[in-house]
A and B are shown apart, each in its own frame.
Chain A
Amino acid sequence: MKNLKYISLALLTGLVFIACEKEDDGPVDPIATCTDGIQNGDETGVDCGGSSCAPCTTVTEIPAIYSFQRNGESTVSFSGQTTRLMMAIEILGLLRDNTSTEAQIMAAYNHQEGVADFSDAELNASDKQVRNKTAGSYFFQNFMPSIASSAVVADFEGFVTGQVNEVFPAWNTVAAAGNAGQIADGSSTRYVNAKGLEYDQAFIKGLTGAFVADQIVGNYTFPGNLERFEAANDEGTIVDGKSYTDLEHDWDEAYGYFFGLAADGANPLAALLEGGTPGDFSSGDDEFLYKYVDNVEANFEGTAETIFEAFKAGRTAIINKDYVERDVQADILREQVAFVVAVRAVHYLKAGGNMAASPGTRLHDLSEAYGFIYSLQFLLEPGTNDEFYFTRQEVEDFLDTIYNNPTNGFWGVTTADLNSVAEAIAVKFSFSVAEVE
């Protein structure tokens, strides 16, 4: 099927070439063709070279994998993102251990350099943390600081407090409508509050938006942030002691939030695209977008490749100092990141509405839905400066419908309620609720 696509693409391209060559027979207007964005006349590149236009500068081609060099040395680095992703996973481990204290979990969330918050000594030594990157993007810090610091961080700290004070004390009791406790979900055991919510799921899936997606779309690919580093990039100014420009590094950091835990960081889709089936694709330890893009692939093949291509093309555009093209790729990333989050939200709403499934299975699906829905408020819309697919208010309304308003929360929510939210999410995108399995 893929081959067929390429063949038809090649055929189409051939036809276009034939058409173009005929047009090129006529006289050429050099002033018009040097700015029309296509290679024509005797130009040796797009709008450059030949007898009329300015000489071409060497243009870097988009590589097959995420690998970029300067003077034979790699310029790619995203170790800080890998560190933060691993910290988030350790915090999740603490949330799932009923011997953790509230202070201990909060300290890990708000990690300070040198403090032994984690089991991994390298994480303890790091000056990075997750809390200051929760709604911590350039966008939130500059345009919505009060929401970021008071509302969003407070939500996540509330999940921690709830887990320790409501769920831990009920750890060894059977959960029921109105009672916190544990409940079977297949061979797994889930731990829920009195309304059926797993706070650890709300926390980790909520971070998919507030932490990972926000850092990608609101920070490291956000044009208003990146333009501050364009002049230095134009001059080729290298960051002290490093091999990259600031701007190159910013883009890599966005990439690191998506693919930072891939076994092969330069070629994270290898396992998926080279003969692997989506279900067998291993996203390693990741708990965020890299993990869930695999599930999205099952219904929407090509999503992972589109995202990977956009990361490579945007990084290449930065090397070529082509910031228009960079922002085109940033828009593709906004669209695709939002798509992954929205598809997963709808998937879990549908699963949670399957009344034939066991209560524990449904509560788990709904808890995941809660986190992905929470994440929707961090998805910037392509082609806008400050528009989101969903406002915080819209997200709160969704959560009211599925969780806050029904009697005993998830225990009382109806399939109709869940479907209404699924429809309201899908309508903003190019997919239908029925397409999501």
Chain B
Amino acid sequence: MKGKAHWILTILSALFIWACSSTGDDTPITDDDGVSLTFDRGAMLENWADNIILPSYNQFLVDYAAFKADFESFQNDRSGSNLIALRSSWVDAYLSWQSISPFEVGPAEDNGLRLNVNTYPTDVALIGTHISSGSYNLDLSSNRDSKGFAALDYLINGIGGNDAEIVQVYTDAITGDAHVAYLGEVINDIDTRVTTVRNAWQNGYRDTFVQNDGSSATASVDRFVNDFIFYYEKFLRAGKMGIPLGVFSRTQTPTLVEAYYYPQLSNQLFLAGLSTVEDFFNGKAFGSSRTGESLASYLTTLNQITLRNDIRNQFSSARTAVSGLGPFRAELENNSPAADMFAAYDEVQGAVALFKVDMVSAMSIAIDFVDADGD
């Protein structure tokens, strides 16, 4: 009798196991709690393209049109008050640029947009040569450090010791017009390039981008995540903080900060870039609080809640640390070493490993960029 009960129990258990495992056969991969682990990469690409990238380009062009209008006014009436208005809309446009700078894929990459629009430090001597000769080609890559937002910074904020002197430069009877003409050329160059890229997104690239929703090394998600981490590492972390700090060269160099001639802006430009990174990570629609599929929701689906929260917390630590600093240029000029700025840099650096190691390994994305060999 006892033996029989054992047999029955065994058979029943076997049936139970068979039944349980068979129910799993046709359902998607699930984790221990039965949550689906599949993630719709196409929906994430759509959210990126339609709610973040394109609206950001469009808003930039709106802000830039306002800047251009202020330039028209300044060109016609080169007064101190028009210079102040011009500077104010330049600040808005420069901040707005920080919300499109990370998106160097497709048409932006083909046009080398970032290096054409925001190479700094600017080459003051080269700008002087261009203005006095009146002969220059802003399409040459060797002229990238004589145009873009950094050249505008010099032309609007640094070409004279104060506003009166700056106005003097543009009203000079002999050379004033040449200066205004060059300022206009630099302003148009940015406008033309960003418009070209935005139009390419509108006229076909958006669909190319969204439809390439696979998971190979050349798929949109893989490539874009690579470009995005590259931006964070090289342009946000190194360009705006690490290089002027001398993290790589061991020489602290205040002249290498972004917006050197308008130093109160440098930190804002960094924080605007950080906001773009943060909003992109969270899939937040541009200019709204709505969110869609994103790297954050991808991590949630993959059950990487801790990592997702770690990344968010690291952004927050970086923001707090940088917000507590004086203007980068002053931090660098007044402190050697600039200990507070170094500490803030460490918080910014903290996100790199989370992105570049933990996040990409969770998403099975290979990092394909390497440091240039330096020659």
Contacts and interface: CB of A to CB of B under 8 A. Distances in A.
A397 B321 CA distance: 59
Given A279-B371, A295-B373, A186 B139 contact: no
Contacts of A267: none
A interface SS class: mixed
B128 interface: no
B372 interface: yes
A189 interface: yes
Contacts, number: 32
A172 B140 contact: yes
B140 A174 contact: yes
A172 B141 CA distance: 9
B137 A172 contact: yes
Contact of B112 (A184, A279, A287): A184
Interface in A181-206: 182-184, 186-187, 189
A358 interface: yes
Interface string A348-365: 000000001010100000
Nearest to A365: B373
Contact of B141 (A182, A279, A287, A368): A182
B56 interface: no
A163 to B, nearest CB: 16
A186 B372 contact: yes
Contacts of B137: 172-174
Interface in B346-375: 371-373, 375
Contacts of B375: 287, 368
Interface string B144-163: 10000000000000000000
B21 interface: no
Contacts of A184: 112, 115, 141, 144
Contacts of A189: 140-142, 144
Nearest to B142: A189
B119 interface: yes
A184 B142 CA distance: 8
Contacts of B373: 295
B369 to A, nearest CB: 11
A186 B115 CA distance: 8
A187 B140 contact: no
Contact of B115 (A187, A295, A356): A187
A172 B142 contact: yes
Contacts of B140: 172-174, 182, 189
A5 to B, nearest CB: 27
Interface residues of B, number: 14
Contacts of B371: 279
Given A279-B371, A295-B373, A183 B112 contact: no
A182 B115 CA distance: 15
Of the candidates B139, B372, B373, the one having the most CB atoms from chain A within 10 angstroms of its own CB is B373
Nearest to A361: B372
Of the candidates A182, A183, A368, the one having the most CB atoms from chain B within 10 angstroms of its own CB is A182
Given A279-B371, A295-B373, A358-B112, A187 B119 contact: yes
A287 B218 CA distance: 34
B112 A182 contact: no
Contacts of B139: 174
A182 B372 contact: no
A372 to B, nearest CB: 13
A305 B29 CA distance: 49
A173 B112 CA distance: 17
A184 B373 CA distance: 16
A286 B375 CA distance: 11
B110 to A, nearest CB: 8
Of the candidates A183, A187, A295, A356, the one having the most CB atoms from chain B within 10 angstroms of its own CB is A187
Contact of A360 (B119, B141, B218, B372): B141
A187 B113 CA distance: 11
Contacts of B142: 172, 182, 189
Interface in A61-81: none
Interface of B: 112, 115, 119, 137, 139-142, 144, 218, 371-373, 375
22 contacts: A172-B137, A172-B140, A172-B142, A173-B137, A173-B140, A174-B137, A174-B140, A182-B140, A183-B141, A184-B144, A186-B115, A186-B372, A187-B115, A187-B119, A187-B144, A189-B140, A189-B144, A279-B371, A287-B375, A295-B373, A356-B218, A368-B375
The 5 A-B pairs of least Cβ separation, nearest first, read A184-B141, A189-B141, A189-B142, A184-B112, A187-B115
Given A187-B119, A189-B141, 6 more contacts: A182-B141, A183-B141, A187-B144, A189-B142, A360-B141, A368-B375
